[in-house]
Structure 1
């Protein structure tokens, strides 16, 4: 008897409030907007990276990166700023608090991810071009300990369109921090992803209630179509 594949759980992402696509273009003027692509790098996204080596299912990340690539092309075509950020660590820069957290969880050494020296921090699939903003960060928040805010202000940026990995961690932290820095924040729901069922949707829901407006890849592409 043929095996019937299990039903995939219904994603509630499409049920969350999203900005009216017809109104989006006026809100994300390319001259004042940066597309922020978060942590598309080897250890978080590549099959040969740390998570892939541990057997983490990267299919949702792959789908999100497909859409990130579309957004980058749309941003470049429209003249919007592109900002690429990634985690870049070494044993000398590891956070004391993070090391303590891992020890208390029984995972000593678990903070050793996105190392500069072994390629884990390298960009994956999406690479910077001249004129892009590049941010190397030690932890989750793209503003903490970096000059990201100063670079955005210097370009007259008022609005951020955010995508990348992972929705519940670095995307969440950076989006909330952007709002606290007084930027208008849009999060592209189908161009971000988490690694565990439900985390993506619950994180989107929490952010939408407090600090971001949700949109989709197609809506942004249409808004930036020249």
Structure 2
């Protein structure tokens, strides 16, 4: 079974203490794990996708504009990968696949499914933020597309602790995903 790592929304706006829609300390605490796992996947020559939210300034028609403050705006610092993951991407950007998304799921409106199938990928490993939003919606779409799903508990976080815990249970009990313990 061929696998790929999907790092979802690990950006300045979602992680940094000053980010526009930050999960703060829970997200910051993931940094070493995400960077170490990303480096390990690259060393094994396994595909690594960094899939990041993209919004346009003053887009009143995007459904999230009614739910959340502006975040991950095109051309802003907030869209950059957070911390050491940004450094790793800068060093390894030819080996890592950057993908923009405009909805919660990494599959919605992107060619992620095509990219994965072209590489023979049948198992996806998920890390990033937020567990109960973008990771959850990506996992649901992956389930519906027939992928085997692995969620790294040490690599996901949310600004909503109850939502985070619920999502971890949902991954296992409803989507049949493997949740790798911290």
TM-score, normalization by structure 1: 0.71
* CA offset digits 1:16-71 (Å, max 9, x no partner): xxxxxxxxxxxxx5xx110111101011011232135xxx6x11111122211111
- Please name the residue that 2:55 is paired with: 89
Partners of 2:7 and 2:146 lie apart in 1 by: 19
Partners of 1:140 and 1:155 lie apart in 2 by: 23
Q: Does 1:51 align with 2:9?
A: no
Contact kept in structure 1, 2:17 and 2:25, CA below 8 Å: no
Partners of 2:145 and 2:60 lie apart in 1 by: 25
- Please name the residue that 2:75 is paired with: 117
Name whichever of 119-128 and 170-179 sits farther off: 119-128
Larger gyration radius, structure 1 or structure 2: 1
- Partner of 2:77, secondary structure, is coil
- Please name the residue that 2:179 is paired with: 214
More strand by share: 2
- Partner of 2:161, secondary structure, is coil
- In structure 1, stretches of 5+ residues that fail to align are 1-28, 103-109, 218-226
Contact kept in structure 1, 2:3 and 2:124, CA below 8 Å: yes
Partners of 1:146 and 1:92 lie apart in 2 by: 22
Match of residue 134, structure 1, among 67, 83, 98: 98
- Partner of 2:143, secondary structure, is helix
> 1:76, CA displacement in angstroms?
1.2
Partners of 1:111 and 1:95 lie apart in 2 by: 14
Aligned-pair RMSD on alpha carbons?
1.9
Note closer, same or farther for the CA distance 1:184–1:191 as it changes in structure 2 (3 Å cut).
Answer: same
* CA offset digits 1:55-107 (Å, max 9, x no partner): x6x111111222111111111122211110110110376644334x44xxxxx
Number of equivalences = 175
Note closer, same or farther for the CA distance 1:60–1:143 as it changes in structure 2 (3 Å cut).
Answer: same
* CA offset digits 1:109-128 (Å, max 9, x no partner): x4521101322212112143
Partners of 1:123 and 1:80 lie apart in 2 by: 20
Q: Does 1:34 align with 2:4?
A: yes
Contact kept in structure 1, 2:53 and 2:72, CA below 8 Å: yes
